[in-house]
Amino acid sequence: MNNIKFFILVISSLLFSCEDVIDLNLNDANPQLVIIGEIHDQADQQVITLSKTMAFNQEGGFDGVSGAQVEVTDGLGVVHRFTEHSPGRYVADHFFGRIRETYHLLVRVDGNTYTAVSQMSPMVQIDSVGTAVTHLFGEEQKYVAIAYQDPPEQPNYYRYMLRVNGGPSRFAHAASDKFNDGNYITEHVSNADEELHTGDAVTVYMQCVDQAMFDFWNAVQLTNPGTAAPANPPSNIEGGALGYFSAYSMAELNLEIK
């Protein structure tokens, strides 16, 4: 099959003024619907984007899909309806995510219906953040180091994003406590495509996600760019769309790399 470059552009709330840019090679020859939905607890505006996959050599990075019905229902039965603010970008104002709440996504477009479910996990308290340094083959590499106590006897899943010197927010890595449940953790966070240097101003976002989102992002970080036909990440969206729907709690930390 022909490779397709899959651009996911998630516009976060105005509070953060950042973008998530994920660039994957996918093995779908025909354009497919991509749904990216995120519900978080840090602002009262939530955003869901609808787009089509684009061919590798096609100009532009976001082919927005208009005219959809988009809504999210919470555990109390309250329906939050999203309004299209620009092609493919659907927004719900005055909508704060709540810890431990389960959210149901419904999207209707072009005669098709797509659904997904995600529960917002409690935030894990971060004890400290700083700079970590390792040496490999004589070369120095710097990371953001986050320390926290993992809650015992329960599964926990994490996604880390980094923003360096005011640039876009980029996926760093996903982690679970499968092998260190209940331990005191020091997590090294970096972006494989962007080295950190002394003096860099960095914002790190620690998101507590559910298992479906860990599975999605773990597949992303395991993707081999050299593979001829890499597999698509496992979407939690029913109906045949690519992408994901994620409810998560989040902490934002700022530091200067030492």
Could you state, in order of their start, the residue ranges of all structural domains in the chain?
A: 4-121+209-249, 126-208
pLDDT digits (tens, 9 = 90+) for 8-19: 333 333 333 344
The architecture of the domain spanning 126-208 is Sandwich (2.60)
Distance (Å, whole) CA 62 – CA 138: 41
pTM: 0.85
Q: Show the tokens assigned to 212.
A: 């479906």
* pLDDT tens digits along 129-162: 999 998 888 788 999 999 999 999 999 999 999 9
